[in-house]
Each structure stands twice: as C-alpha cells, then as structure tokens.
Chains A and B, each alone.
Chain A
Amino acid sequence: MLAFRRFERAIDSGIGRRKLGYLMIALIIAFFLWFPNDTSQSNYAKTVFISGFFYAIMSSSWALLAGIAGQFSFGHMAFMGIGAYVAGLIARDGVAFAMLGVNITPESISSLGAIIIGTVAAGAVGLVIGWLLLRLRSAYLALFTIAFSELFRIIMLTEYDYTGGSNGLSLRPLLQIADVNAARQVEYYLMFGLLIVCLLALYWVANSPIGLFLRAMREDEDAASALGVNVVRYKILVFVFTSMIVGFAGAIFYSDVGSERIIPEQLEILQMSLIIAYAVIGGMESLIGAAAGAFISRYLLEAMRQVVISLPFGLTTADGSDAFVWDTGYWRFALFGVVMVFTLRYMRNGLLYPIITWFSGRDIAMKETVSIRESDDDEGAAPTEADDE
C-alpha cells in the first residue's frame, strides 16, 4: 500500500495522472493498430478482436442510454437487428416507395447504401418508439422494449420466406477482397475504426450540454424539467441516436465483416442481457469502461473455452499427463456470472471504474452519481416519493 502511495505521489508530481491516462489510451490504440501486423497472430485472433469491437460498440452505446441518460432499454439488440435485416433485405430485394416515386432495386444500390438505409430504419423505429413511450417513466420503456424485442425476433423467425427464419439472412458483403488475409486485415481496421468513431461520438454527446441535461434527467426528471430542460425531446434524441449507432454497427458487422449472416436467435433477450452484463462489469456510467468491459469479457469468454495448466515440478495428473486440462467451455458463463455478482455486490460502478477514475483524476467522481448516491445512503438517503407519502 505504501509503495502504491509513493507511486501515486511520483505520478502526481511528475507527468500527472490525466496525462498518464492519455498516454495509456494512446498506447492501447497503438497496440490495436499494430496487432493485425503481428505475423504471429492468426486470422482467428483478429476475428475474436473484431467481435470484441462490435460488442464494445453495443455496450458503450447502451451505457450512454442507460448509464448516463437513465433510459433502461432492452431493445438494443432489436435495433441492431433492424439495421442488419433492413440492409440485407434492401440489398437483396430492393424497395419501392410509390408515394415518393422512389424505386430502389438491388442492382441500383450499393452495400453501403443498403447499410445507410438500415441505419435510418433503426433510427426511424427508435423515433416512433421514443415518441410513444419516452413521455412515460423508465419502467414502461423497459417493459415495452422487452416486448418489442421479442416481437421483432418472432417476426424475423416466422417470416422465413423473406428473412430465412432460423437459417438466417445472408447480407451482401460490404468488402470484396479476394485475399482472405488482406480482407481480414481490412475488416479488423474497419471495425476498430468504427468503434473509435462511435466512442468519440458518444463521448461528445456525453460531455456536451446535452450530456449534462441527460445526467440531470437521470437524477431527477421533474427538477430538470423545472429548470427548463425539454426532457422528452432529449430522451427521444438519445434514444434515436443510440438506435442509429447500433443499427449501423449491426449492418456493418453482419455484412460479412464479422459474420456473413444474422439469425433471429441473435436478438434474444439473453443476448441483450450479455450486452448489459458487459456494461455493468466495465462500468455503466463510463463509456470507455463499458466498451472495455465488453471487449475484455468477449476475449476472456473466448479464451476460457479450454484452459490447460502446465503442472510444475514434474507433477502429473492421474492419467500421467503433465498438464491439467480444465474444460471451462462448459463453465465459462457460470464464471462470468460470478464476476457479475461480485461486481454488483462490491463494485457497482464496474470493475474498471477505479482504474479509469484513478487515471482521470479525482474530479471525475463528481459526475458519477452512483458514488454520490452511495454517500447519500450513508448519511441518510435523499427524500423520496415514498417519504413524501
């Protein structure tokens, strides 16, 4: 502990924690940029990273919606699915809007064009749901988005003539690169670039005046409204914004960048709960924490498919092997659950929160209302509606 305190003092009097934090971020980005050029890494490792980047986008955007804006939506995977399915169907079948005189044929639209239409569709559905529901308290949003997600999944499952049902829908590939290694390299950078752009966009929103309004609304909608914040407008805005981000990410990912087809099972509540779990483990109120939580969790869940521990000192197992094989493939989600329970019980701001806070400096804690709520609890909780009654 003493050594750590000395280390802290040395950092504070030297480069400073914040600068050290920026340096760390720069190093991490440099690592991710260098990684695909490491010839010892196979395409499989890149695939695991690509999947990690995708789930990092999903988790961090959910962190903005739920952690910062306080809107507990369970529809994130459904909006991702809308983006992917609409992009896939438009690229395959085209679409005609007779009233607008627009006729998009499969031949006339590029993969990127279809992806953009998918993104707009996700945003449009988000707008309708937001307009209908975000006037209500958050419990209704949670209930409705659970129902909406299931409804959307069942429609995708049963309209098999159009969507392929459980066989899935194959999206038109975004990239046409014949060489597999080169293609994987480009896919890697594309998904990593998308993660960086999304994080910057989310960060910009979270740290703009809109972000302050969102935090104010999360803490007390009535107070925020009384101070002039147009609560409904900002709720809808952040809902549509995050819907479009995940719709775009989903359409890109399933256009043969991360996977060549999307299936309705990907939209199940179970998958949504994983996104939430990643955000909780990383830190719901920190965009970088949620993204890192998702990436690290995905990586470890993949790595834990089978663990082999080489035994020291010439020790052998009962069958004479010098390696102990633990088939964690069956247990990895149970271990994940243990980490989740630990996080919720002892580190409600996420496993990574203390690290991020340390690097960010003490002042960031002022924004983190879970800490404030915890201290409120210690000193006697703030008045609630129940107290009023």
Chain B
Amino acid sequence: MKRISLFISILALLALTALLPTGAVYADGHCEFAEDSIKIGGLVPLSAPGTVAGGVAMSWAINRAADDINAACGVAIDGVNYAIEIVIGDSEGSPERGQAVVERFILEDEVDAVTGVYHSAVGLATMGMLDENRIPTVFSEPWNDNVSANGIMEYDGRPPRNADGVDHVFRVSPASSMVGSVVVDWLLDLGVGNVVIIAENTDYGQPAAADELARFEAAGATVTQINVELGTEDFVPILSRIQASAETPDVVRVIVTGETSFNLTQQMAELGIAPTEDTICVTNQVAFQSEQYWQNVPDGNYCAFNRVGIIPSLFSDTAVELNEAYFEEFEDIVPSYAMASYDAVWIIADGMARAGSMSDGAAIVAAIETTDLDLSQGRYYFEYGNHNPDLPEGTPAFMWHQWPDPVVTMMQYFEQGQSSLDAAVIFPVVYQTHGSSYIAPGTSP
C-alpha cells in the first residue's frame, strides 16, 4: 500500500512538473510586421487578494488596445511596422507579487514598457524598480498621490525618481486629491457652510473624509464628521443625532461604499433629512449603478454623487466603440480603469513611434511628456515633466507626469427610477449637461 502511495506521489509531482512553461507566445497580424515585436507588460490583479474584476477589465482593455493598434499595422519606427505583444502579469494586488512580476517582465519577458496597476500599494512598490530599469511606464489606475509625486519629491526615504534627469513613470488615472477636490469645490460653489460627513471606518472612508474636512474647514465651513462601520444596517441612531442638532445641515455627504451606502441614503431620505429643500444629499459613487440604486434607495431622487471617469453622454467615437466591445464581453458600461488602460497602451505606442525607438527609455519618456492625443477618455497631455519642469507655486507635486484632466464629475438624479445614463452632470461647469449646478428637489432642469 505504501509503495502504491509512493508511486502516486511521484506521479502527482511529475504531473505537476509537466505543467512548467516550455516556451514563449508571440503576436500575429494581417499587416507586414518586423520579426521583432514591441512587448508591453500589463500588471493587473487576477487573483485574490487583489480586485480580480478590475484586473480582468484592465487586462481585456490592454489586449484590446494592442489588437486595435496591430489592426492599424502596429507602431511604425523608421519605416518598419512593429506589432505590439502584450504580456499580462498577475500582481494579486500584493506589493510582493507585483515586484516579482515586474522583475519577470524586465528580465524574462524583456518588455519595452509597462502599463496597468490597479492597487496603489503595487504602484508604490514597483514604481522605483521600473524607473531604475528605465522602463517607460504609464499607470492606469493607482490613485495614491505619491505615485506621481515621487517623480520630484522624496517618498518613504526614496529619492525623487527624476533625480537623474529622467523619470520613466506616468499616470493617467486621477490622484486621490483630485477626486476629493471636485465634491468640495462643487459644494463650496453652491455656498454651503454647515456640512455633515458620514464616513465609513476604513482606509477608503477615513482619508477621503479627512481630505474633504480639511478643504471645507480651510474655506470656513463648519463640519461634523460621523464614522460608521461597513455592514451597519440601522443608521437611525446616527441620523436622529443629525435631526436633533440645533442647525439644519446644508449638506449630508456620504463617504460609505456598497450596500451600506444604499441603506444609509434610503434611511436618510425616509427620515426627511436629505435630500430636502434645505439639505443637499451627496451619496457615494456606487449610485451610478442606477438599477441597484433604485432598488435599494427608492426615495433617493435628487441625490447627487461623484463619478470617476468620463460619463456615457460625453463619450467620443473611440469611447463608444470601446464601450460597445466591453458591453459585448461583460454586459456592463466600460469602467474608467479599463478606458485608462486602453488609452495607456496607445500613449506608449505613440511615444515609441515619435521617439523612433522601442528601447531607448529616455527618448520614449521625452516623447510621452509631449503627448497630445485624443483617446477614449479625452485629450491626453502631461503638463509637467522635464519639458516643463517648474511647477508653479501652489501646484501639488502629484501633478508631475500626471494627466491633468481625468474626468471627475458630480451627477444628480432628477427623476424617479432614472438611468445613470440620463442623470444630469452638474459639475464641473464645462461638463454640465442640463445647464444647472444643482437641481432642487421637486424641480426639473
């Protein structure tokens, strides 16, 4: 019996060993391509503890961009067409795995550029490595301010990446601070003075609340912050405190995600706290999922919410095509990180074509710094880089190698059961769809 077990164990090990990699994959296309191809590494989370849904969407978008570029005969460098080959690596949302995959990209796959990255922790752990190895990189989702700020500022004891005169890392997703500022700027424009923030007690809710609180207080507004646990279902005690306060708040801002956000918003509306004539309701961005929103928050008409990424009513032709392809694959509206990932591959390809090289990191970086491309999310350019190194006084360091115009908007429902595709964009003014910065309850734009 033991011998049989021994054989079984040897066989099982041999069977697993037979699964070892034995070769490489290469791309193909209908145009005449050079034998070499341009390899772009896509670093995305495809297993737990990473956000797999995000990674799958990003991976799809990166491959889609490569297919589209190859269909247009690839990247022309010195009159020769080079196909783009994508190598996807699973970061698992972990810095340790992210670093290992980047090392594999550089040493084994010999990629010419890298894009992707969903989790900030992975971006922060890999950005130094990518820069040291002179790999042009365009991150498409990490939000942490330091991802771009480390280009010109020390971070965690690490010197600025641009200390040697070339910073290889760019970002086309918004920095955290860019997202927070839109909500506050909009409310301050409306003249609110008494703000209640209800924030979840997590690393998403607390920093976001702290950031908004600081901005409101700097503008002279009075802020009351109430923290809640994710998963709480009964918010009546908290909401009763708001009702009992001497002054009616001008706005109740909800920084709580998921189902909890829906529960809170519905109970807030049922109790007549917001939205009312006196109090603006600002709920979480998950309200964009209109079907779920109306199922859970039937009394939530006239609530406003923020949205990261360009809204469907403003989609360009490229975005419409991408959205249709995405919908065919996933039956959902294309998320901002998939659009950013798609665009990032185009930005890299454009940079290589203009630099006339797929391997000269410094030349490609210089070309990317002067990018001027209209893609799915809008016009891409980088205001600050070595082509324009001096940030004016008051400009935050995260604007370095940062696409300055990621679309962060305020939207508002104004009809019961309305689709988010028809909801009004109310801020910034440049994106307004119904000519109004706020639709008061009971009115129509």
Contact = CB atoms under 8 A, between A and B. Distances in A.
A198 B432 CA distance: 63
Interface string A31-68: 00000000000111001100100000000000000000
A10 B3 CA distance: 16
Interface stretch (B91-99, B257-265, B273-281, B358-366): B91-99
Contact of A310 (B3, B23, B95, B103): B23
Contacts of B20: 300, 303, 307
Given A168-B121, A347-B9, A354-B5, A43 B103 contact: yes
A167 B94 contact: no
Contacts of B13: 296, 351
A260 B49 contact: no
B430 interface: no
B188 interface: no
B66 to A, nearest CB: 16
Interface residues of B, number: 53
A167 B144 contact: yes
Contacts of A358: 2, 6
B2 A47 contact: no
B23 A165 contact: no
B203 interface: yes
A306 B42 CA distance: 14
A167 B120 contact: yes
A313 interface: no
B28 interface: yes
Contacts of A306: 21, 25
Contacts of A310: 22-23
Contact of A329 (B12, B90, B100, B120): B90
A164 to B, nearest CB: 8
Interface in A312-368: 319, 321, 323, 325, 328-330, 333, 335, 339, 342, 346-347, 351-355, 357-358
Contacts of A303: 19-21
B10 interface: yes
A118 interface: no
A44 B95 contact: no
A179 to B, nearest CB: 12
A167 B124 contact: yes
Interface in A128-178: 157-158, 160, 165-168, 170, 172
Nearest to A328: B19
A158 B94 contact: no
Contacts of B201: 158
A261 interface: yes
A342 B49 CA distance: 25
Given A51-B100, A308-B23, A357-B2, A260 B107 contact: no
A329 B121 CA distance: 22
B9 A355 contact: yes
Contacts of A261: 95, 121, 124-125
A308 B22 contact: yes
B203 A271 contact: no
Given A168-B125, A260-B95, A351-B9, A44 B100 contact: yes
B206 A158 contact: yes
B5 A347 contact: yes
B121 A259 contact: no
B16 A268 contact: no
Contacts of A48: 100
Interface string B100-139: 1001101110000000000111001100000010000000
A47 B203 CA distance: 30
Given A309-B22, A330-B46, A168 B104 contact: no
A224 to B, nearest CB: 29
Contact of A259 (B2, B47, B125): B125
Interface string B16-54: 110111111100100000000000000000111100000
A232 B269 CA distance: 56
Nearest to B103: A44
A165 B6 contact: no
A260 B203 contact: no
B49 A268 contact: yes
Contacts of A160: 203, 206-207
A352 B124 contact: no
Given A1-B3, A4-B3, A310-B22, A43 B49 contact: no
B99 A308 contact: no
B39 to A, nearest CB: 14
A69 to B, nearest CB: 25
A110 interface: no
A335 B119 CA distance: 26
A219 interface: no
B8 interface: yes
Contacts of A221: none
Interface in B197-254: 201-204, 206-207
20 contacts: A4-B3, A42-B107, A44-B104, A44-B108, A47-B103, A157-B202, A167-B120, A167-B121, A168-B95, A168-B121, A168-B125, A172-B157, A261-B95, A262-B95, A296-B16, A321-B28, A323-B23, A333-B47, A339-B12, A355-B9
Interface of A: 1, 4, 42-44, 47-48, 51, 157-158, 160, 165-168, 170, 172, 180, 258-263, 265-266, 268, 270-271, 296, 300, 302-310, 319, 321, 323, 325, 328-330, 333, 335, 339, 342, 346-347, 351-355, 357-358
**Top 5 nearest A-B pairs by Cβ distance?**
A165-B203, A259-B96, A265-B49, A42-B107, A354-B6
